[in-house]
A and B are shown apart, each in its own frame.
Chain A
């Protein structure tokens, strides 16, 4: 009987040992060999980026020329003042504009520069005296009676990052009046809540925005600019354009100035037999052909098939088409919604590019002279394309009061403060893009547990989060240049992480197939172990009960 008991105990121990091996060795081994590698991600940082509280700080210095302020107030200089304005776009997005204004009186050299005869000269001279930092603005206040500004002009906004204003004369607090005026100038030269809201258009419901906000191209690291000459009728027109000179003369300086914002490449092509998608209507009164604004949406699509995308890069393409209408359809004019002819004979399509119709003068219906040689007047063409280019980049003018005088941007086609305006909006847009990209990436990875997260993807995500945070901090401390750089880096890293091909491996591995593979092995192995465990438990219970019975 004792031998029997010993045998029973041995059987029990063996079953328990099996169960233990399966639990201690088998389960972890199975778990380890079938798990997908998922590097840890900064989920906290990503969700913190989800709510964007922008604080945009503009350093402004207001410099008073001699005699601009009454003596009593002159003595209060220099002093600093900070104004903050917060606006809430939605529960997760808010913008705080913060103007750190320092008031001081002019130095001797500044005084000398302000004493020159013409305001343009003063602007150039003052440029040398300012430290060249992106986003920082200087406003010079000159006495009411100063001859520097022409009659009737209250404020002059220069080519660079400075403006000159007359000191308002009035009974009240002069400094308060000055600061109100400075506020107006600074908003025109840096950003307004509206321009920032437009940059955040993806996060804001559509009805809060105007139609213009969808016009500019989305922020990107580079753009391909393609000029295409469409000649649908090469039998009648032998069109030549000196695009190389035009690009190097007019477009390149503008792009050099924008080089900080993105990379650009410019190319051009001539397409023959490329016709517009709609046939124009003949107008008897003017004996010309009319393309009405309503039909413009149908013009581009058939042409676009011929344009060809850039084969060698992934940047968005800006298309500028110069269309020389066929002989039988010329002259061709574009009409706006009211039925009036558009002066430039051009139109643009948001986030796509622009089209200009270039009519050819036909001297006489003399067939023998065909094809007619046409040399395109590139100045006329380029001024339209440059204006469209500025619009497509979102460099548009702000409505200003009458007494403001804007200096023309010069041969660069872009002033320093316009560049700043662009940088403010682009930085904000970049950070918003990074936030959206990372949030959706985190959601995706959270939702699909099968996706492998490699270390390099994780490090890109970390870098993107860190750069976006840096960009936010730099914006708050008023360093526009470094903020923009950081936001650009954040975009690069986040895109790289989001589009990493390794994320696509093994996306589809359904559970039913997993069961089908596991069951033939696991079921026959698990059943005996479980049954003997149940048996052992039952016996243990009985042996516990038995002693109480006998006692």
Chain B
């Protein structure tokens, strides 16, 4: 585009003309009290980074940026944004969204070897939204909302339609302040096919007030973040209490990003790591807009001898918290503290193992699950889900949500749940059968998991034939089935004391915790890849040719039969053989035939 700078003289002349009027206005007392003393900041930003070594030796880095805005977004006319991104704010006020959770994930969190995740997300894209009860047409709002989000995050969320949207009744409760829990206002969809890459990260980073220019966001370098075993970025928007009395509502936007680095491959076989090794950057300053900017390093160890690992530089403080039923110790680096940058200008957190740890501490988490598809041939199959409860003495219930696309026709009568060889009857079942090309199957169950047990859930299905235009461009790759969702209140092994949730790092404040004796966990299983009977795609033309040929042959003989004239053949002089015979007879002098 070519920009033409306008005739400035004219602007200036008009500016004076307007100035006269505005001056007059000020004398009259400008409406709204322009230039009055501004109140306390109505929005705040907190940034956190949690580095935790995983039992398998990998390292997980979790970023969280929390923007809080003391404003009623749904009130008419709020349109002046500071730290809260304008694009998302407009979206919430236009579509009357109560809560919005979007995650884009590449890879799969291996709960067995990596332990309980702080916030897991299913592979691909996941979106769930609670609308306000004043929304009349939820489906329309959901459709438009997902289209706009698709534009904002450059993701294929526009493929969300009625065939992959469900309304769970029990699995997804509002995480924020809500007085309405009518599940008809909830929509949930997963796109397991979605591939997450740089083009999704860039718009996500653009929503941060400091962009990626300052603070912890400096570390978010796409080429390192996507060179990992697991990458999950998410946006959570919810209303929260403004203060303890909870008389008014604030809006909270959490942008989280979790990556798991494979330390063996990046560290040449050593388990030592540093910020620079992982991100190829170091931290030099906090985001000047943030009211809190901290790096936590998980230095807790299962054994009593605490001196296994060493963190440099030495942390200014140590924070102890009980997270997910475990006592954890964190080394805390407060980037806003002036002491931190006194010694060196940049912070490069390093962790060294004092002696090589041969026996990896692979304690399995209390709750984990796995899922697979079995069977042979292209007609029927079976989905099996295994749920493990490794708690030594406590049983607890779990809510299982299965969303299966309509082209796998589930037979509910084949649903079998067995624990320790005995049938396990679910205490709650909500099943919504699929409608072809309209909606998927939805199966929600509340299952009691006995202590130290494996529960196997199997259900059989039949594969449907699709219309030839309904196949994806690469149909032989298979069709994805979105992961099942497990939500549970897991009893903790240790007794926890109720703490101030706001103080503890990261996600403990996102999920509501009932009391000190249990904690909330949401797990996702693997997505499934199922082959459907795939036709040869030149088939339509072949069919046309074949039918036309058959029709033409039938028609041809019919036509011949009807239009041909039949008449009696005159006895002719005979064929070639007869004539030849006659010639021979003539020669021989015998009378001809």
Contact = CB atoms under 8 A, between A and B. Distances in A.
Interface of A: 4, 7-8, 10-12, 14-15, 18, 211-212, 214-215, 226, 234-235, 240, 242-250, 265-270, 272-274, 293, 296-297, 300, 306, 308, 310-312, 336, 342-344, 346-350, 352, 371, 375, 377-379, 382-384, 386-388, 390-391, 396-397, 408-411, 413, 516-517, 520-521, 523-525, 528-529, 532
27 contacts: A7-B566, A14-B563, A18-B562, A211-B4, A215-B6, A242-B32, A245-B32, A250-B25, A267-B79, A267-B80, A269-B86, A274-B211, A310-B90, A311-B87, A311-B91, A344-B8, A344-B11, A344-B12, A371-B288, A383-B19, A410-B21, A517-B541, A521-B551, A524-B556, A528-B559, A528-B560, A528-B563
Interface centre among B8, B541, B549 (most CB of A within 10 A): B8
A501 to B, nearest CB: 13
B15 A383 contact: yes
B11 A348 contact: yes
B47 to A, nearest CB: 13
B501 interface: no
A234 B18 contact: no
B26 interface: yes
A379 B22 contact: yes
Contacts, number: 210
Contacts of B342: none
Nearest to A379: B22
Interface centre among A211, A523, A528 (most CB of B within 10 A): A528
Interface string B287-327: 01100000000000000000000000000000000000000
B35 A520 contact: no
B3 to A, nearest CB: 4
Nearest to A310: B90
Interface string B552-570: 1101100110111111100
A294 to B, nearest CB: 9
A528 B557 CA distance: 10
Given A249-B25, A387-B18, A242 B87 contact: no
Interface in B184-230: 206, 209-211, 213-214
Nearest to B540: A517
A7 B565 contact: yes
Contacts of A296: 3, 5
B545 interface: yes
| Chain B contact surface mostly | helix
Given A297-B2, A521-B552, A409 B544 contact: no
A269 B19 contact: no
Interface residues of B, number: 72
Contact of A387 (B5, B11, B34, B289): B11
B360 interface: no
A408 B214 contact: no
A379 B27 CA distance: 12
A312 B141 CA distance: 12
A342 B79 contact: no
B81 interface: yes
Given A273-B211, A378-B34, A391-B14, A349 B22 contact: no
Given A18-B559, A244-B80, A375-B38, 14 more contacts: A10-B565, A242-B36, A249-B30, A269-B86, A308-B87, A347-B5, A348-B6, A350-B6, A383-B18, A391-B14, A411-B21, A413-B21, A520-B548, A525-B552
Nearest to A516: B541
A386 B18 contact: yes
B567 A248 contact: no
Contact of B11 (A8, A11, A15, A391): A391
Given A249-B30, A272-B210, A311-B151, A517 B79 contact: no
A449 to B, nearest CB: 23
A465 to B, nearest CB: 31
Contacts of A245: 30-34
B336 interface: no
Contacts of A247: 80
- Chain A to chain B: the 6 pairs with minimum beta-carbon distance, closest first: A245-B32, A524-B552, A267-B79, A520-B548, A387-B14, A521-B548
A267 B34 contact: no
B420 interface: no
B529 interface: no
B212 to A, nearest CB: 9
Nearest to A384: B15
Contact of A311 (B11, B90, B568): B90
